[in-house]
């Protein structure tokens, strides 16, 4: 194995890491930076504002474009302003541009969704139509309507700190958030309920950090970063999930879900789509060897389509238009 000095020789300057500027995004970038610096290579974190950060008066579904949290950062990869980009894996579109590549996935945190409230006695089963749950995710809204039809929802845009402040000010009775972000921002004491990952299935990639680069990045440097940063079991799981998303052609404004878990050498993928009103859900589960992760994702997408998933999407498009 190469020593740290040899590793550092591949980098004449600090590795420039591009990221959004929210506290959670910076936590993720610093997490990756620390892993790189542990190998003797300095880093520099560069914050970049994205479309999703600028437009806060519309829901994600109404913004309706791909890469709303990544496009501007990816442009900086292309023009050489940054060497790598660090994203929440769930924010990265499945159909990655041909001039970009994924280098690594961090080890995945628990990908479950959680209910957060300042009222310790809060449970979704206790809610009636006088209570309001805040979320900016169409998936969470649709699953809530499917499982808890009496609960009202309200759009909760902004970074995690902003949403927690609005919760404290009484805009919502509770929020539904990803456990990983709540933990990383030290809000875990306000978790009042963990949602069952098998029924309230998370978003594709939820809980993991993704490292992206331009295809122009030197291959030796890319492989070196991969060796330092990549967690292979997480990569296999999210490869299956992203293959499902790409085949199904679901984006951030579509209530799709997908979660793969690895046991021994077997991947189990559960994925599907739910109508925005919660009335119809199409969900399929299949298994394969982890080396067949991409094929597994494609097959599950085809199963979801065959069982009516495409019709759910078409009805959603009619509704939004």
Q: So which residues are the catalytic ones?
A: 91
CA atoms within 13 A on the CB side of 305: 13
Alpha-helical regions (H) of 20-137: 23-37, 51-54, 60-63, 71-78
Q: How far apart, in whole angstroms, are the C-alpha atoms of residue 317 and residue 321?
A: 6
Q: Which of 282, 269, 211, 273 is nearest to 243 (CA)?
A: 269
Residue 269: C-alpha distances to residues 83, 198, 283, 289 (Å): 33, 10, 10, 11
273-108-159 Cα angle (round to 5): 70
Cβ-based neighbours of 249, under 8 Å, separated by 6 or more: 313
> Helix 23-37 and helix 219-229: axis angle, to 10°?
100
Cβ-based neighbours of 233, under 8 Å, separated by 6 or more: 107, 262, 290
Question: Do strands 113-116 and 174-178 pair parallel, antiparallel, or not at all (unpaired)?
Answer: antiparallel
End-to-end CA distance of the chain: 57
DSSP 295-314: HHHHHHHHHHIIIIIHHHHH
């Amino acid at each position: 194995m190469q020593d740290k000095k040899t590793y550092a020789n591949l980098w004449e300057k600090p590795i420039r890491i591009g990221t959004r500027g929210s506290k959670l995004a910076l936590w993720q970038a610093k997490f990756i930076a620390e892993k790189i610096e542990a190998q003797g290579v300095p880093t520099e974190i560069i914050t970049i504002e994205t479309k999703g950060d600028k437009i806060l008066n519309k829901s994600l579904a109404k913004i309706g474009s791909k890469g709303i949290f990544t496009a501007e950062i990816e442009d900086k990869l292309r023009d050489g302003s940054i060497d790598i980009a660090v994203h929440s894996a769930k924010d990265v579109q499945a159909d990655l541009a041909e001039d970009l590549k994924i280098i690594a996935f961090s080890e995945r945190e628990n990908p479950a969704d959680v209910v957060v409230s300042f009222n310790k006695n809060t449970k979704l089963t206790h809610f009636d139509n006088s209570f309001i749950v805040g979320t900016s995710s169409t998936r969470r809204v649709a699953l809530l309507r499917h499982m808890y039809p009496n609960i009202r929802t309200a759009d909760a845009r902004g970074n995690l700190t902003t949403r927690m402040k609005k919760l404290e000010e009484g805009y919502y009775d509770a929020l539904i958030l990803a456990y990983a972000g709540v933990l990383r921002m030290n809000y875990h004491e306000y978790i009042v309920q963990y949602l069952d990952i098998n029924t309230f299935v998370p978003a594709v990639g939820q809980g993991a950090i993704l490292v992206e680069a331009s295809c122009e990045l030197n291959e030796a440097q890319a492989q070196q970063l991969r060796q330092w940063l990549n967690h292979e079991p997480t990569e296999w799981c999210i490869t299956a999930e992203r293959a499902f998303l790409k085949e199904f052609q679901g984006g951030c404004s579509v209530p799709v879900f997908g979660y793969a878990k690895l046991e021994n050498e077997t991947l189990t993928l559960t994925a599907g789509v739910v109508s925005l009103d919660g009335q119809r859900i199409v969900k399929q589960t299949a298994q394969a060897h982890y080396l067949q992760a991409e094929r597994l994702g494609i097959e599950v997408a085809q199963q979801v389509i065959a069982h009516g998933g495409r019709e759910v999407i078409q009805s959603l498009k009619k509704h939004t238009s």
